[in-house]
Chain A
Amino acid sequence: MLVIEHLHKSYSTTQGKLAVLQGVDLQLARGASLALMGESGSGKSTLLHLVAGLDRADSGRILIDNQPLDGRLESAMARWRREGIGLVFQQYNLISSLDVAANLSFQARLAGRLDRQWLDCLATRLGLDSLLQRYPEQLSGGQQQRVAIGRALAARPALVLADEPTGSLDEACSDEVLALMLQLVGEAGSSLLMVTHSPRLAARLERRCVLHAGRVRAEPR
């Protein structure tokens, strides 16, 4: 479903050009899950941002269902983000002016694919039923991440992209949230690309690959 071919990306910094991705190749089948690992600065977040259409690659291609993602058209990228994917970041996920219920349904409504039943199911499964009228700042970190996950899945996107989704949670909480996420991603029928530096968490996904010096070094079995 997702095919990445020879992806290059570099940033200009004060110290000169910094090549972050230097020819990345990767595939992800529909419904599959992949953990993207690597040291800090290895480019894993950059790769995720490129796939999410938040940034544009210098060269190479990203194919979604054999259709290339055209980074030149902002409208197309915005549409891809709106309708094609669900995003979960480590933090700064939620819209602080909206309550939990509005946050949960926000993207589904943006995408025009609001499914009340599925949303209620998500809220229940994520344990958010009693928190729907609250505002993000009134929630704990774990609760906030559950809302973010719910929002990402509300429109049943083809692909869920998660960047250290449990990075700011403690171990027990993080395991619980990840388990919930994997379960729901499965129920939604979405594929999952998750960036993590924790081998323990990565082990719970179907596949893992390690990014090193801008390339996919190995995909341990």
Chain B
Amino acid sequence: MNPLLITLQALLSHWRRHRLQFFSIFTGLWLATALWTGVQALNSQARADYARAAAVLTGPGQAQLLARDGERFEQALYLQLRRLGWQVSPLLEGRLRIAGAHPLTVRLIGIEPLSLPSTAAVAGIAIPAFDLQAFIDAPGQAWIGPDTLQQLGLNSHEQATSSDGQRLPPFVVQPQLAPGVIVLDIGHAQALLQAPGQVSRLLLAGESRPLPADIAQRLTLQTPGDDGDLQRLTDSFHLNLTALGLLAFVVGLFIAHAAIGLALEQRRGLIRNLRACGISLNTLLLSLTLELGVFAVLGGLAGVASGYGLAAALLPDVAASVRGLYGAQIAGQLSLPAGWWLAGVLVSILGALLAGVSSVLRAAHLPLLALAQAQAWRMAQGPWLRRQAMAAGLLLLVALGCWQWGNSLTSALILLATLLLAAALLLPALLDGALAWLARGCRGALAEWFIADSRQQLPALSLALMALLLALAASVGVGSMTEGFRKTFIGWLDQRLSADLYLTPQDTTQALQINAWLAQQAAVTVLPGWRAEIRLQQWPVQVQGIIDHPAYPARWPLLEQSPQAWAQLASGRGFMLSEQLARRLGLRLGDSLELASDTLTVVGIYADYGNPKGHLLVSAGWLRAHLPQATLSALSLNLAPERIAPLKAELQQRFALDDSRVVEQATLKRWSREIFNRTFAATTALNSLTLGVAGIALFISLLTLSQSRLGQLAPLWALGVRRRQLAWLSLGQTLLLSSLTVLLAVPLGLLLAWCLVAVVNVQAFGWRLPLHVFPAQLLHLAVLGLLTSLLASAWPLWQLARRQPSELLRQFADEA
């Protein structure tokens, strides 16, 4: 028989007797792959959807002409430019509410396929491949993504109706089309959106020239890249998810690493025998690698399958998160390319290699003649702890550097990673130190043994304890951040959302009519909100103009303010801006900003959580004088509670406003909170999973350790320590080690939380949150950590307590 086969057979026979180890390695690789691929699935699905959103219309140049006031404009301008030889294509965009079992507001995009350059594509369909007759002629086509159609609860052959009773063209399902979008001919779009002769923007192909003066007064050129695109905006979110996935992956690999190492230890004799029987080192290494490969493929397949399940379960939350944070649409369904599955298995193989390479290398260096003896642990432990502590020190230096000089999200995440890794590497040294300190206070033979033996177990348990530390610290950190954010956000929301009724009129004209009508109503306070969209340093910024009213100082919480801030704002000399924008522009209180050929002074900075755009607050008078494109787009009303419902009904009836345009405070708050809760649901779920994985790592480490522990415990038993007592002592040891780990995890977690709120959030979102410490939450997590370790040690200890004396005796009698 082939030596390789013989070797494999001999090596694999080990697993028949050690099924548990087999499952440990398998579980490690499985969990690592599952969590990692799950997160990757979420990310790639989201990215694919952003790409779909971006690919609703793709072409050579993405430059476009927009009205200076941001509103729609007449298509005569399009014709004028076309007659001048401009390669422009009109596009009309708007929101349309589709009636049906599941009413849904979609983004309607009307395009003109003939004027689009032939190199352009809509939803992945090249322009020359259009069935023009079907698309533009009556009844036309309404292109829709399969997920949107499903959301509407309609079949592709059903014809949809808008909420105002107009029939949409028949649906054509385009798998590439982004969710929440319907694409149709501009003619049909103008009819549905009741915007005859109106366009939203002109897409420009080819090079741009200076616009003719009369058109330049109306339109402005926006070059590609001006728009803060989804990909970039959401990168931070996905980077966060990736970091969590990576953490889980590492924790899973800890399990595999520990189990693979143990399997090698136990097979030292076998390996020596095989070598002595003439099996070459290469054959042996090949066999070990093949064996590892089998594990990797098995774990990978299981992992990828579970990862898919995990991603499918978390996707709705992730979708809600990015919608809430960035307004990005992603589908509620997974559709992954075949490559993803392959990549998952490859990741598992990579993980198995990472986890097993040290063991295989050790097998390669195994001396042929050395006697099987317990490792000289004490001689090895000192340098081992020193090396790890040194590595930790280096990492801490990197962390310090990132904190001091880093100013990007990547550096913020490196700070987190190095901090966590350094803490993990320091853990054995810290635990050893703590035990050494405890040992000084010990009297009595058993107590001394208790501590000394705990120290001896450290190398074997340290990986699992590191996993526990990382998972717990991450839980504490993310938990504190989330809770803190919730507390801050809800408080902020309560202050900010203090009007009873929020109105979004259709346009400025209607807004003015409503305002005038409301002025005649008794006991209603109206706060009109003038808005304009501008760009500051290429960043989209919303400018809001407010009237001088005591409601604002009372309700608009400021993070920082100059004396007389509100009065200065009302005078038109000062302005306030959101924290994100202030950071981005590098503005502080008292700084001035050139705005619409005027210079204003920063008099206040406020939080504006969850807004991907910048926000500026100025007086309405100043806004209307300096930015004529400003529109009156919102009215906030305060009135007696019993009058809210009748007034709402009357407004709706009188001005034909649907539910989405007249919203009560409670509804708005509920929406915001729902979005918030879902935003962190995926993060929280991943976090708990990581903690679970750490628990499993500890369990498996203890279980594998419990077999070699017998040799340590048998002499004690022979010297008159009862079995039950031994079991309790062992439990005590585990709890001692995990308690110390938990004790270290709490400050580490708080440090992590600080990094998250003060560094990562600032880089990722632009806002800094106050650091809140929630003792109850900490206690809860600490108890959870201890419970995890208690559960993890329960089974191995129960096994130990049940050991028959004969098994213990064998420790002495085997060789006799």
A/B contact in complex, CB under 8 angstroms: yes
- B-binding residues in A (CB < 8 A): 11, 45, 49, 52, 54-56, 74-75, 78-83, 87, 89-98, 102, 105-107, 109-111, 135, 137-138, 163-164, 167-168
Given A95-B452, A97-B449, 19 extra CB contacts under 8 A: A11-B806, A45-B813, A49-B813, A54-B718, A54-B809, A74-B724, A75-B722, A78-B721, A87-B719, A91-B815, A92-B811, A95-B453, A96-B377, A107-B719, A107-B720, A110-B720, A135-B378, A138-B376, A168-B815
26 of the cross-chain contacts (CB-CB < 8 Å) are A52-B718, A54-B805, A54-B809, A75-B722, A78-B720, A81-B720, A89-B718, A91-B815, A95-B449, A95-B452, A95-B453, A96-B456, A97-B449, A98-B449, A98-B452, A102-B452, A105-B445, A106-B449, A107-B445, A109-B444, A110-B445, A110-B720, A137-B376, A138-B378, A163-B816, A164-B816
B276 within 8 A of A: no
Rounded to whole angstroms, the CA-CA distance of A137 and B716 in the bound complex is: 17
- Residues of chain A contacted by B815 (CB below 8 angstroms): 90-91, 168
Q: Report if A82-B719 is in contact (Cβ < 8 Å); known contacts: A54-B809, A91-B815.
A: yes
A92 touches B721 (CB 8 A): no
B444's nearest neighbour on chain A, judged by CB, is A109
Which of A80, A92, A110 has a CB less than 8 Å from the CB of B714?
A: A92
B452 touches A106 (CB 8 A): no
- Indicate with 1 or 0, residue by residue over B800-816, a CB within 8 angstroms of chain A CB atoms: 00000110110111011
How many Å from the CB of A199 to the closest CB on chain B?
18
- Residues of chain A contacted by B719 (CB below 8 angstroms): 81-82, 87, 106-107, 110
A109's nearest neighbour on chain B, judged by CB, is B445
B720 touches A55 (CB 8 A): no
- Residues of chain A contacted by B722 (CB below 8 angstroms): 74-75, 78
The B438-465 residues at the A interface (CB cut-off 8 A) are 444-446, 448-449, 452-453, 455-456
- Residues of chain A contacted by B379 (CB below 8 angstroms): 137-138
B712 within 8 A of A: yes
B201 within 8 A of A: no
Q: Report if A49-B809 is in contact (Cβ < 8 Å); known contacts: A90-B816, A110-B721.
A: yes
- Residues of chain A contacted by B175 (CB below 8 angstroms): none
The B144-189 residues at the A interface (CB cut-off 8 A) are none
- Residues of chain B contacted by A137 (CB below 8 angstroms): 373-374, 376-379
B711's nearest neighbour on chain A, judged by CB, is A92
Q: Report if A95-B455 is in contact (Cβ < 8 Å); known contacts: A106-B445, A163-B816.
A: no
- Residues of chain B contacted by A56 (CB below 8 angstroms): 805
Rounded to whole angstroms, the CA-CA distance of A11 and B811 in the bound complex is: 17
A95 touches B718 (CB 8 A): no
Top 5 closest pairs, chain A to chain B, by CB: A82-B720, A109-B445, A81-B720, A97-B452, A97-B456
B723 touches A74 (CB 8 A): yes
Rounded to whole angstroms, the CA-CA distance of A109 and B722 in the bound complex is: 16
How many Å from the CB of B769 to the closest CB on chain A?
47
Q: Report if A55-B805 is in contact (Cβ < 8 Å); known contacts: A81-B719, A82-B719.
A: yes
A94 touches B715 (CB 8 A): yes
Q: Report if A95-B715 is in contact (Cβ < 8 Å); known contacts: A74-B723, A78-B720.
A: yes
How many Å from the CB of B76 to the closest CB on chain A?
91
- Residues of chain B contacted by A92 (CB below 8 angstroms): 711, 714-715, 811-812
B725's nearest neighbour on chain A, judged by CB, is A78
Q: Report if A97-B453 is in contact (Cβ < 8 Å); known contacts: A78-B720, A82-B720, A92-B715.
A: yes
Rounded to whole angstroms, the CA-CA distance of A125 and B477 in the bound complex is: 59
Which of B374, B445, B716, B816 has a CB less than 8 Å from the CB of A102?
A: B445
Rounded to whole angstroms, the CA-CA distance of A94 and B715 in the bound complex is: 7
Rounded to whole angstroms, the CA-CA distance of A23 and B460 in the bound complex is: 46
Q: Report if A81-B718 is in contact (Cβ < 8 Å); known contacts: A92-B711, A95-B712, A98-B448.
A: yes
Rounded to whole angstroms, the CA-CA distance of A110 and B722 in the bound complex is: 12
The B359-380 residues at the A interface (CB cut-off 8 A) are 373-374, 376-379
Best-buried of B373, B374, B448, B719 by chain A (most CB within 10 Å): B719
How many Å from the CB of A164 to the closest CB on chain B?
6
Rounded to whole angstroms, the CA-CA distance of A83 and B445 in the bound complex is: 14
- Indicate with 1 or 0, residue by residue over B374-394, a CB within 8 angstroms of chain A CB atoms: 101111000000000000000
The B675-723 residues at the A interface (CB cut-off 8 A) are 711-712, 714-716, 718-723
A163 touches B378 (CB 8 A): no
Best-buried of A74, A94, A95, A105 by chain B (most CB within 10 Å): A95
Rounded to whole angstroms, the CA-CA distance of A24 and B806 in the bound complex is: 20
Which of A45, A54, A96, A109 has a CB less than 8 Å from the CB of B816?
A: A45
B812 touches A163 (CB 8 A): yes
- Residues of chain B contacted by A74 (CB below 8 angstroms): 722-724
How many Å from the CB of A113 to the closest CB on chain B?
12
How many Å from the CB of A102 to the closest CB on chain B?
6
Rounded to whole angstroms, the CA-CA distance of A94 and B812 in the bound complex is: 11
Rounded to whole angstroms, the CA-CA distance of A97 and B456 in the bound complex is: 6
Best-buried of B444, B718, B721 by chain A (most CB within 10 Å): B718
- Residues of chain A contacted by B452 (CB below 8 angstroms): 95, 97-98, 102
- Residues of chain A contacted by B809 (CB below 8 angstroms): 49, 54-55
- Residues of chain A contacted by B376 (CB below 8 angstroms): 137-138
A134's nearest neighbour on chain B, judged by CB, is B378
- Residues of chain A contacted by B721 (CB below 8 angstroms): 78, 82, 110
Rounded to whole angstroms, the CA-CA distance of A97 and B448 in the bound complex is: 10
A164's nearest neighbour on chain B, judged by CB, is B816
How many Å from the CB of A159 to the closest CB on chain B?
13
- Residues of chain A contacted by B711 (CB below 8 angstroms): 92
B447's nearest neighbour on chain A, judged by CB, is A109
- Residues of chain B contacted by A94 (CB below 8 angstroms): 715
Rounded to whole angstroms, the CA-CA distance of A59 and B43 in the bound complex is: 71
How many Å from the CB of B438 to the closest CB on chain A?
14
How many Å from the CB of B186 to the closest CB on chain A?
81
B723's nearest neighbour on chain A, judged by CB, is A74
Best-buried of B455, B714, B724, B809 by chain A (most CB within 10 Å): B809
- Residues of chain B contacted by A164 (CB below 8 angstroms): 816
How many Å from the CB of B17 to the closest CB on chain A?
15
How many Å from the CB of B459 to the closest CB on chain A?
12
- Residues of chain B contacted by A45 (CB below 8 angstroms): 813, 816
A137's nearest neighbour on chain B, judged by CB, is B376
Rounded to whole angstroms, the CA-CA distance of A163 and B722 in the bound complex is: 21
B712 touches A87 (CB 8 A): no
How many Å from the CB of B732 to the closest CB on chain A?
15
- Residues of chain B contacted by A49 (CB below 8 angstroms): 809, 813
B455 touches A97 (CB 8 A): yes
- Residues of chain A contacted by B373 (CB below 8 angstroms): 137
- Residues of chain B contacted by A97 (CB below 8 angstroms): 449, 452-453, 455-456, 712
A110's nearest neighbour on chain B, judged by CB, is B445
B451's nearest neighbour on chain A, judged by CB, is A97
Rounded to whole angstroms, the CA-CA distance of A181 and B812 in the bound complex is: 20
Rounded to whole angstroms, the CA-CA distance of A135 and B381 in the bound complex is: 13
- Residues of chain B contacted by A111 (CB below 8 angstroms): 720
Which of B378, B446, B724 has a CB less than 8 Å from the CB of A110?
A: B446
- Indicate with 1 or 0, residue by residue over B665-682, a CB within 8 angstroms of chain A CB atoms: 000000000000000000
B720 touches A79 (CB 8 A): yes
Rounded to whole angstroms, the CA-CA distance of A11 and B807 in the bound complex is: 13
Rounded to whole angstroms, the CA-CA distance of A62 and B711 in the bound complex is: 28
B715's nearest neighbour on chain A, judged by CB, is A95
A79's nearest neighbour on chain B, judged by CB, is B720
B804's nearest neighbour on chain A, judged by CB, is A55
- Residues of chain A contacted by B805 (CB below 8 angstroms): 54-56
B808's nearest neighbour on chain A, judged by CB, is A54
